[in-house]
């Protein structure tokens, strides 16, 4: 599936799921803006070293000014924006804890990145989408929004908000030819998750037990779904959420 000459922004694109998505889109011919708080330039250089078209932009998605600058850089560098993959989020650094132990500050931190960050990125890319006559937004949500997993209520709620925002934006932006869909991963052994052994210890085994395909999930398992929503084959699909979790949840 070719994405030749398209321009894609991938937030949280320096590591894990984000880098895997950026790599796949670039391999399909897209010019990719790797956007991340840390490591964006190095990640883009890794892609460019393989002859792929990529540039890195340092951005904190909770900052309106930085997100607007990200969108301007994409247009300045590549002339347009066709695809926005909203992958940046807080998960791998979280410590599972009971609902009553969570603080308002923890809720605000998660929502600032996982929800407000998606809003800011969509808002920043919207003028470019309109100028191009359409575009694709792919929001990375999570299967936990459907399963209601315990011990991370703030994270679960944030990903439920992403799914609802996906539907609202699909309804509102369809008139401009902008398609908005979501990919909901199961528990994925990404770079960040590997750095949190407490999280791996608490979540990995239950995830394996609940999957029809009883193996570990890795970032590469998601890129096909992201590519599908970014490409021509999904041209009449919007407002949908595709759960990719090895059959742990049927949706």
Catalytic residues: 155
Burial 13-31 (b: 16+ CB within 10 A, else e): bbbbbbbbbbbbbbebebb
- Rounded distance, CA 235 to CA 180, Å? 11
Question: In angstroms, rounded to a whole number, what is the distance separating the alpha carbons of residues 166 and 75?
Answer: 24
CA distance 167 to 182: 9
Helix and strand counts by DSSP (H, E) for the chain: 10, 7
Contact (Cβ atoms closer than 8 angstroms) between residue 128 and residue 176:
no
Give the DSSP letter string of 25-50. HHHTT-EEEEEESSSHHHHHHHHHTT
Residue with tokens 């398992």: 221
The Cα–Cα gap between 241 and 251 comes to 9
191 CB contacts (<8 Å, ≥6 apart)? 15, 16, 19
């Amino acid at each position: 599936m070719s994405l030749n000459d398209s321009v894609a922004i991938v937030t949280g694109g320096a590591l894990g799921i984000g880098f895997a998505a950026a790599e796949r889109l670039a391999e399909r011919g897209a010019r990719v803006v790797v956007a991340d708080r840390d490591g964006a330039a190095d990640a883009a250089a890794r892609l460019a070293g393989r002859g792929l078209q990529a540039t890195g932009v340092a951005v904190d998605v909770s900052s309106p000014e930085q997100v607007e600058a990200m969108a301007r850089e994409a247009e300045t560098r590549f002339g347009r924006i066709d695809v926005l993959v909203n992958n940046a989020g807080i998960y791998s650094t979280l410590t599972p804890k009971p609902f009553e132990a969570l603080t308002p500050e923890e809720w605000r931190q998660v929502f600032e990145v996982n929800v407000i960050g998606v809003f800011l990125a969509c808002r920043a890319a919207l003028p470019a989408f309109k100028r191009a006559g359409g575009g694709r937004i792919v929001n990375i949500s999570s299967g936990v929004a459907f399963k209601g997993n315990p011990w991370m209520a703030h994270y679960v709620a944030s990903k439920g908000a992403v799914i609802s925002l996906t539907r609202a934006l699909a309804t509102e932006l369809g008139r401009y030819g902008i398609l908005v869909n979501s990919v909901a991963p199961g528990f994925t052994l990404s770079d960040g998750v590997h750095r949190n052994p407490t999280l791996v210890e608490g979540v990995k085994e239950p995830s394996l037990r609940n999957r029809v395909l009883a193996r570990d999930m890795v970032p590469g398992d998601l890129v096909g779904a992201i590519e599908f929503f970014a490409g021509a084959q999904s041209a009449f699909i919007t407002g949908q959420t595709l759960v990719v979790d090895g059959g742990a949840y049927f949706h």
